[in-house]
Amino acid sequence: MTYQDEYGMSVNQPESFWQEKAAALPWFTQPKHILSKDENGMDRWFADGEMNTCYMAVDYHVEQGRGAQAALIYDSPVSDTKYTVSYAELQEKVAIFAGALQDKGVTKGDRVVIYMPMITEAVVAMLAVARLGAIHSVVFGGFAPNELAVRIDDAQPKVIVTASCGIEIQKIIPYKPLINEAIELAEHKPDSVIVLQRPQVVAELDRAHDADWTACVAAAKPVAPVPVKGTDPLYILYTSGTTGTPKGVVRDNGGHAVALHYSMKAIYDVDVGDVYWAASDVGWVVGHSYIVYGPLLKGCTTVVYEGKPVRTPDAGGFWRMCEEYKITTLFAAPTAFRAIKKEDPNGELIGQYDLSHLRNIFMAGERLDPPTYEWTVAKTGKPVIDHWWQTETGWAICGNLLGVETKAPKPGSATVPTPGFNVVILDDDGNALPANTQGSIAIKLPLPPSCLPSIWNNFPRFQESYLSEFPGYYCSGDGGYIDDDGYVFIMGRTDDVINIAGHRLSTGEMEEVVADHNAVAECTVIGVKDELKGQLPVGLVILKDGVEIDEATLFAELKAMMVKQIGPIACFKEALIVGRLPKTRSGKILRKILRQMADNQPYVVPSTIDDPASLDEIKDIMQSKGLI
Ligand code: COA
Ligand code: AMP
């Protein structure tokens, strides 16, 4: 089967293509309606299939005789702990914790927020929620209480599951005070908060709704997987949009399981028993798809790593892991490799480890810049595969399909569209653009399995954000082009989303934080290039008349506000006091031009600009500060 055959079938006969892929999974009732419409008129996959994702990912493997195989490898250089959990042990832990959640009143369709560091109990909690047919919403530990509160109010969880602390590089972060603050800020109050006590910090369980994980588990009885429909939601994952309110991306059980199971062989070329490591965090989509569900659905061994690519303890951490656990497939964000390259430019640490089991290195989450690509290939001697995807899709939209047909890589390109994704480049009026012409990257409907059918409780926002710009297409929010050979080049976002160290954040949300400062009359936040983290946010600020504050003080105060409102991962870089901002005559800030200027991209100054000199003024300031 060539890539062309596989891809052609997926877009020309999507129903028979995906029916065949679905048949590879153990459904309770195989789906007969492969593609149908829901009440919103959205395409839905496998509506009448009955299944349970936790059963498919755990119990099924035990039934197949893989009970003794390692399901999870836990390696935590920050707490000096290592162990493995077999599939049989995982089944037991998940069934009991599902019982504990059931004792707290969680049933099918209820939401459970999980705010945990990279420990195996986070995976157990996610699978236990799925086992009950309930819906998890994992929130990344680097988000501040305010962000957590916004998610609590939107998802309205019955239970929150957390741990007593997270551990960063030489820094222990107690989680319980953050949870308490978030619950205080939120209007919705959960019935229970289950806390896993870690040895580094003992959390005070001082509120009526607090419960101890170990005590809950000791009192619980194991429960069996609850059947759900293919279209029932498995999880909500919040991601940054262009406004301050994050979008709750909804993921189906059926389409998700089918797409991820298919991707394990087609994209990553892994088989049952391979050791697959996505060095991300369960708080991000990569963690959901490729630390938890993908590898377990396939029957691989997956890795839960509580550490960083560098400084835990050194830039050899990734390679030590690859040797120690005979990892076959490594997946991380380019920023991780830039961090390693910075500390070990000649790859001396790489040479100290046996990487003979490692077959491929995959990268995603942000643009893979050619120098990082070349360095990683040269120093590891391994194929490096760029692939492009989004929280909204849950798996790669473009990649090099190693399990179908390997294409020659082109640095700077995420290679070709994944089967199921009909990728096109459109101009502002929605017309298809010819090869090598840059435009908006869109996907012709129907979207393949696993892609979001809606935003949680907000279909109008889903339509407005993704479907209204180009009718009949999903608008990705990324710009780029397709070359003569059909290779797709992703050039960056066309909206107010930026990517900091592989973390997706909204400049719109940051703008709201800056605007809250009492010295600020007007502002905008743009992403500037950063050698290590890809992009960093810079604020352009007009002060209120009569206010006197120096730039350094303003910056320090704004940075503290960012940490408090969004979290430390916001990494606010600089605040620049400017006299004016480029605007249209109707008073709208020309963010697109500022973004293009910051990216060193060519831009056309629109005729509607009110004050063209304002743009040159900002350019001069940014150049003088070495920001562009
Ligand atoms: N909980 C609490 N705080 C967190 C956190 C978490 N889970 N994750 C990050 N932070 C904090 C960090 O401690 C740091 O705080 P500080 O500014 O007070 O020191 C801040 O957020 C910024 O963190 P980060 O951007 O991660 O910077 P870093 O210097 O600690 O590490 C890298 C830099 C490149 C090593 C790191 O960003 C990295 O590993 N990136 C890969 C990201 C990734 O895998 N993304 C997933 C997408 S596929
Ligand atoms: P997230 O939803 O957090 O996974 O972020 C998705 C965004 O990250 C995309 O819309 C892109 O802007 C960017 N991104 C992810 N993978 C790639 C890639 N391989 N190349 C370029 N950009 C990428």
Q: What is the pLDDT of residues 226-251, one digit of tens each?
A: 999 999 999 999 998 877 789 999 99
Number of the ligand closest to the Cα of 368:
2
Question: Quick one: pLDDT at residue 602?
Answer: 82
- Domain 496-624 indexed as CATH 3.30.300.30: yes
The residue type found at 624 is S
Is the CB of 368 within 6 Å of ligand 2?
Answer: yes
Question: Per 3-state DSSP, what percentage of the chain is helix, strand, and coil (rounded to 5)?
Answer: 35, 25, 40
Is the CB of 366 within 6 Å of ligand 2?
Answer: yes
Atom of ligand 2 nearest to the CA of 284: 3
Cα 66 to Cα 605: distance, rounded to the nearest angstrom: 62
Residue nearest to atom 6 of ligand 2 (CA): 390
Question: Quick one: pLDDT at residue 170?
Answer: 86
CA angle 455, 459, 463 (to 5 degrees): 95
Ligand 2 site-directed mutation target among 338, 386, 389, most atoms within 8 Å of CB: 389
What confidence tens digit (pLDDT) does each residue in 303-317 have? 999 999 999 999 999
Number of the ligand closest to the Cα of 369:
2
Is 586 a residue whose pLDDT tops 90?
Answer: no
| pLDDT tier at 603, thresholds 50, 70, 90 | confident
Q: What is the mean pLDDT of residues 391-400?
A: 98
**Beta strand segments in 420-463, E:** 422-426, 439-444
What confidence tens digit (pLDDT) does each residue in 538-551 have? 999 999 999 999 99
- Beta-bridged to residue 98, according to DSSP, are none
Is the CB of 448 within 6 Å of ligand 2?
Answer: no
Atom of ligand 2 nearest to the CA of 414: 19
Atom of ligand 1 nearest to the CA of 308: 39
**Beta strand segments in 315-412, E:** 329-332, 360-363, 384-386, 388-389, 396-399
Question: Quick one: pLDDT at residue 65?
Answer: 98
CA of 96 to the centre of ligand 2 (A): 36
Is the CB of 167 within 6 Å of ligand 1?
Answer: no
* Cβ-contact 274, 300 below 8 angstroms: yes
Tell me how far CA of residue 351 lies from CA of 125, 319, 339, 361, 375, in angstroms. 38, 9, 17, 16, 14
Question: Quick one: pLDDT at residue 607?
Answer: 83
Number of the ligand closest to the Cα of 249:
2
* Cβ-contact 196, 114 below 8 angstroms: no
Question: Quick one: pLDDT at residue 396?
Answer: 98
Q: What is the mean pLDDT of residues 545-572?
A: 96
CA of 112 to the centre of ligand 1 (A): 25
Question: Quick one: pLDDT at residue 146?
Answer: 95
Q: So where are the chain's domains?
A: 496-624
CA of 417 to the centre of ligand 2 (A): 14
Of 53, 44, 124, 118, the closest CA to residue 81 belongs to 118
User: What does pLDDT average to over the chain?
Assistant: 96
Number of the ligand closest to the Cα of 505:
2
Residue nearest to atom 13 of ligand 1 (CA): 168
| pLDDT tier at 468, thresholds 50, 70, 90 | very high
Q: What is the mean pLDDT of residues 135-139?
A: 98
Atom of ligand 1 nearest to the CA of 279: 44
What number of other Cβ atoms are within 10 A of residue 157's Cβ? 29
Is the CB of 498 within 6 Å of ligand 2?
Answer: no
Question: Quick one: pLDDT at residue 591?
Answer: 87
| pLDDT tier at 473, thresholds 50, 70, 90 | very high
Ligand 1 site-directed mutation target among 335, 369, 372, 393, most atoms within 8 Å of CB: 335
Give, as one character, the DSSP assignment of residue 528.
E
Ligand 2 site-directed mutation target among 140, 239, 331, 367, most atoms within 8 Å of CB: 367
CA of 58 to the centre of ligand 2 (A): 29
Ligand 1 site-directed mutation target among 240, 308, 318, 391, most atoms within 8 Å of CB: 308
The residue type found at 371 is P
Is 609 a residue whose pLDDT tops 90?
Answer: no
Is the CB of 398 within 6 Å of ligand 2?
Answer: no
What confidence tens digit (pLDDT) does each residue in 421-440 have? 999 999 999 999 999 999 99
Question: Quick one: pLDDT at residue 431?
Answer: 97
Residues contacting 293, CB < 8 A, separation 6+: 53, 57, 256, 257, 260
Number of the ligand closest to the Cα of 308:
1
